[in-house]
């Protein structure tokens, strides 16, 4: 059996507006409001981390334990203030230079096929993220304060989880990964596919026609 070419297609976005155009109406936005008090940061060490609307944000440190925080960026923490209000934050501290990098694992509810978020970093600013989704890795640069980087993805099939790693950090560096305004929902498959998607669909049809010709009985 031949699967349609678009079934494995992932499309990424660096603009929230473009992501919204490719996403069905009714998507949700998680701002992490209420998960910490003003001018504070609150730790979430449970195995499910910060859980909101069925989405789990779990920060794994180098020893593999759950460790993530929600921070109020609008108060006295001016060096974290990109205008996002409350945000997830994960320190990149490591026990030694050979320790693996901490990462944030985002576990999604069933049937989510579109997601996005704003990303930035502190100590140092403008670092890049490595994002892993459905077996694919993407490098996403961020910017200096107050410019936010948006990264989003749509898929023809549900996405179960996403991993975020702040790349390029060094041992004893106090770098911190920050995530704000997480959006998720269903991709809009009624939108016209891009040229690359048309090519995949066309290739599948060509292969199907060739297969029928090979299997046709000889007279």
Residue 210 lies in a domain: no
Determine contact, residues 135/71, Cβ cutoff 8 Å. no
For residue 138, being part of any structural domain is answered with yes
Q: Could you read off the pLDDT of 30-49 as tens digits, one per residue?
A: 999 999 999 999 999 999 99
SS3 call for 58? strand
In a domain, 212, yes or no: no
Cis, peptide link before residue 146, omega less than 30° from 0: yes
| 102-116 mean pLDDT | 97
In a domain, 87, yes or no: yes
What's 114's domain CATH number? 2.60.120
Lowest mean pLDDT among 81-95, 124-138, 190-204: 190-204
State how many domains the chain has. Answer: 1
Short-list 87, 107, 123, 76, CA closest to 184: 107
Q: What tokens were used for 49?
A: 């981390």
Cβ neighbours for 191, distance < 8 A, ≥ 6 positions apart: 21, 22
> Is residue 202, in this structure, part of any structural domain at all?
no
- Which of these, 147, 135, 218, 213, lies nearest to 180 by C-alpha position? 147
Q: What confidence tens digit (pLDDT) does each residue in 163-219 have?
A: 999 987 777 778 999 999 999 999 997 664 443 343 333 434 344 344 444 445 544
Beta-bridge mates of residue 154: 11, 114
Residue 208 lies in a domain: no
**Entry field: residues in the chain:** 219
Residues 6+ apart with CB under 8 A from 187: 22, 23, 24, 113, 114, 154, 155, 156
Q: Is residue 200 part of a domain?
A: no
> Which pLDDT score, from 0 to 100, does residue 47 have?
93
| Global confidence as pTM | 0.83
Q: Is residue 157 domain-resident? A: yes
| Structural domain boundaries, residue 144 | 11-188
138: Cα within 13 Å, side-chain hemisphere: 18
């Amino acid at each position: 059996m031949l699967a349609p070419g678009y079934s494995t297609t992932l499309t990424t976005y660096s603009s929230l507006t473009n992501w919204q155009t490719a996403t069905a109406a009714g998507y949700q936005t998680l701002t992490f409001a209420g998960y910490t008090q003003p001018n504070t940061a609150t730790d979430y060490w449970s195995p499910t981390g910060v859980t909101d609307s069925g989405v789990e944000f779990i920060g794994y440190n180098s020893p593999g334990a759950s460790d993530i925080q929600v921070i109020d960026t609008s108060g006295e923490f001016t060096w974290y203030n990109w205008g996002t209000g409350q945000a997830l934050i994960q320190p990149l501290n490591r026990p030694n230079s050979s320790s693996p990098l901490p990462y944030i694992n985002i576990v999604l509810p069933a049937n989510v096929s579109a997601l996005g978020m704003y990303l930035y970093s502190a100590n140092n600013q403008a670092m890049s993220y490595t994002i892993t989704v459905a077996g694919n890795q993407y490098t996403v640069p961020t910017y200096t304060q107050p410019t936010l980087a948006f990264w989003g993805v749509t898929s023809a099939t549900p996405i179960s989880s996403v991993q975020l790693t702040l790349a390029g950090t060094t041992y004893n560096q106090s770098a911190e990964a920050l995530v704000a305004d997480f959006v998720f929902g269903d991709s809009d498959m009624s939108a016209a596919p891009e040229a690359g998607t048309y090519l995949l669909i066309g290739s599948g049809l060509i292969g199907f026609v060739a297969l029928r010709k090979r299997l046709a009985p000889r007279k």
